[in-house]
Amino acid sequence: MKNGAIATFVNELPAIGRYTFSREEIEQKFEKSDAAIKLALNRLQKKGKVVSPRRGFYVVVPEQYMLTGAPPPVWFIDALMKDWQSEYYVGLLSAAELHGAAHHHPQEFQVICDTPHRAIHLARYRIHFFKKWNVQETPTEPRNTPTGQMKVSTAEATALDLVRYYESAGHYSNVATVLSELSEKMTGRSLVAAAKCGVELAVVQRLGFILDIVEKPKLADPLHDWLGSQSPRITSLRPDLDSESTELNKKWNLYINDQIEPEE
């Protein structure tokens, strides 16, 4: 193959709707030495034509993102997770924003997956991965992206995850703020259905309490009715804090050992 063949291949990918490729693909397509392939890919990276969120996986940088250094994660997250052979969905505050309920723009792109991965820093973007054992049980929906589709947790599943991973969602006051907006996209029936998908009862109890705080009885009441048949144990709003001498909310069997103050 002629010199520059790899660069030509990469530069022509967007014309066929592709923005990602792997080193393995390059090795199979071009009869070149490891050193030649490494040199070609390094040149493309130095020119800002491609970026590599993980070793052996590359993203073509569209013209409109040359100044920022990389396209947003929605351009490549599905391809990246497939390359990792990892089940995933976009979740937490990133999912809430996609559902139109982010009070503030999330500072990181949050992904729930079935295998552990270190956070990725790419140009101005940070992708944070959260391992969850029952990813495949969580209700998701497809969302169109500039390059195809990606999986996003439903509004109801997002609400449950926000409570489960409350520290990464800005703690309970921010969770309550987001839930007050996210609730407009939720139904009581679908929320109960999502709660049945392997969610810890303590998470459901905490969510129900917060929904009461933001005055969403059409969502809280169905959860309460379902919980009644599950005989939930008494637990704490914050499992990491002492609950001694704190008030017990008998409706949700929950020691209220934290203050929740949603933004107006």
- Given a contact cutoff of 8 angstroms between Cβ atoms, the answer to whether 135 and 89 are in contact is yes
pLDDT at 169: 95
pLDDT at 71: 96
> Where in the sequence of the chain do the CATH 1.10.10 domains occur?
5-65
Over residues 162-166, the mean pLDDT reads 97
pLDDT at 105: 83
pLDDT, tens digit, 9 for 90 and up, residues 181-238: 999 999 999 999 999 999 999 999 999 999 999 999 999 999 999 999 999 999 999 9
Over residues 129-140, the mean pLDDT reads 96
Averaged pLDDT of the chain = 95
Q: How confident is the model at residue 102 (pLDDT cuts 50, 70, 90)?
A: confident
Query: Does residue 242 surpass a pLDDT of 60?
Result: yes
Q: How confident is the model at residue 7 (pLDDT cuts 50, 70, 90)?
A: very high
pLDDT at 244: 85
- Given a contact cutoff of 8 angstroms between Cβ atoms, the answer to whether 13 and 69 are in contact is no
Nearest to 216 by CA among 250, 242, 179: 179
Distance between CA atoms of residues 6 and 174, nearest Å:
47
Q: How confident is the model at residue 23 (pLDDT cuts 50, 70, 90)?
A: very high
Query: Does residue 1 surpass a pLDDT of 50?
Result: no
Nearest to 103 by CA among 11, 16, 173: 173
Three-point CA angle 251, 254, 259, nearest 5°: 110
Over residues 93-121, the mean pLDDT reads 93
pLDDT at 225: 97
* Secondary structure class of 120 (helix, strand, coil): strand
pLDDT at 249: 96
The residues near 50 (Cβ < 8 Å, ≥ 6 apart) are 10, 41, 44, 58, 59, 60, 61
pLDDT at 16: 92
Query: Does residue 3 surpass a pLDDT of 60?
Result: no
pLDDT at 136: 95
Percentage with pLDDT > 70 across the chain = 98
Q: How confident is the model at residue 141 (pLDDT cuts 50, 70, 90)?
A: very high
Domain 5-65 has CATH 3.30.70: no
pLDDT at 106: 85
Over residues 104-122, the mean pLDDT reads 94
Q: Hey, how many other C-beta atoms are within 10 angstroms of the C-beta on 41? A: 21
Over residues 70-88, the mean pLDDT reads 97
Nearest to 79 by CA among 174, 155, 147, 9: 147
